[in-house]
A and B are shown apart, each in its own frame.
Chain A
Amino acid sequence: MKLEVITPDATLFEGEVELVQLPGLDGLFEILNNHAPMIAALGKGRIKYHQQDRKDQFLEINGGVLEVLHNKVLVLAE
């Protein structure tokens, strides 16, 4: 699935990932391939994403919103 993390100033990440872990308002949750459409509010924390054959990578965010649609995960971070 495709992950895109954007802030008003820049695009932090764009690419194919296998797993994303996000800081939801009520705690961490993970999104895998072919997730159902979802909109979620995110709290302060870090996003973990896993790309094939690579180590997990992290992005710090200060809250945001997430949309999952058609196997595409879009994070509007702050």
Chain B
Amino acid sequence: MANLKEVRTRIESVNSTKQITSAMKMVAASKLRRAQNAITTMRPYAAKLQELMQDLNRSVEQANDNKYAVVRPAEKILLVPVTSNRGLCGAFNTNVIRATVKLINEDYEAQHKAGNLKVFCIGKKGEEFFKSRKISIYKVNNHVFDNLVFSEVVPIAQELMDIFVAGEFDQILFVYNQFKNAATQLLIHEQFLPVEMPQLEDDKQHEGVDYIFEPGKDEILDELIPKSLKIQVYKMLLDSFASEHGARMTAMHKATDNATELLKDLKLSYNKARQAAITNEILEIVGGANALNG
């Protein structure tokens, strides 16, 4: 039987851990709500942009040979794993890292061996991991999550687009957690560049509308494609951000539950020990009294 003082200290420490985890859960929940709101405000924009692209694609007869859509043999690869800056969010970062490593070791093994594979880390956790491995890091960006707004994301997207056009990389892929709901994240790797043109969908409402294009279809498409790429990056980062908080919320919820469970057990053994101590004491007193009487 554990001694009373020991159990009491453990109860105290578990209690304070529980307080911390439940506070973290609350914080994650409120941040999650904010991240979700950002996703909801962005959605109509993204949807409309997509729609415009389709309208344009429909009316552009010949395939547009945009500089972002050039498909080159995949020799130089850039992977962009999106992780978080902070831990304590379950398997959130591990999943991203594992998927990235799998891509490196399986799909892009040849490029990696030739030294043509680099990693652009978004988030501290990924940086820490890849720095300790023999994987060359192209760049790191950790501060974007401090204030995740569109204008902060634009430079990242622009840089990726520029290095692709400059021929530094032939393919750019993102690995990130897509937000499904607070409890589930979908791990996704998505080709960012070269652009795959959106598939035409049948759309009755817009069919036969004779648009005036100002200044011209190609110019508009040249404007739209970079725009939609930026939106794509923004969307992925928002998704990852919301997923992070979702994952943290779930992890902290579980931790709080575990702490409650542990406390229950500890309290039981504390009471048992206390009872045993009292019984012992009574026995001693009774034994002593008996000895005096006898």
Whether B223 and A39, one on each chain, are in contact in the complex, defined by CB atoms closer than 8 angstroms, is no
| Interface SS, A side | strand
B106 within 8 A of A: no
Q: Is the CB of B224 within 8 A of A65?
A: yes
Q: Is the CB of B215 within 8 A of A41?
A: yes
Residues 1-33 of A contacting B (Cβ, < 8 Å): 6-11, 24-26, 29
Shortest Cβ distance from B223 into A: residue: A41
Complex CA–CA separation, A64 to B213 (angstroms): 14
Q: Are A40 and B150 in contact (CB under 8 A)?
A: no
B212 & A37 in contact (Cβ 8 Å cutoff): yes
The 24 listed contacts between A and B (C-beta, < 8 Å) are: A6-B45, A8-B45, A8-B231, A9-B42, A9-B149, A24-B215, A26-B215, A36-B212, A37-B209, A37-B210, A37-B212, A39-B55, A39-B214, A40-B212, A40-B214, A40-B215, A64-B227, A65-B49, A65-B52, A65-B220, A67-B48, A69-B206, A78-B150, A78-B230
Q: Which residues on A are within 8 Å of B, measured CB to CB?
A: 6-11, 24-26, 29, 36-41, 63-65, 67, 69, 74, 76, 78
- Report which B residues bind A (CB closer than 8 A): 38, 41-42, 44-46, 48-49, 52, 55-56, 149-150, 154, 206, 209-215, 219-220, 223-224, 227, 230-231, 234
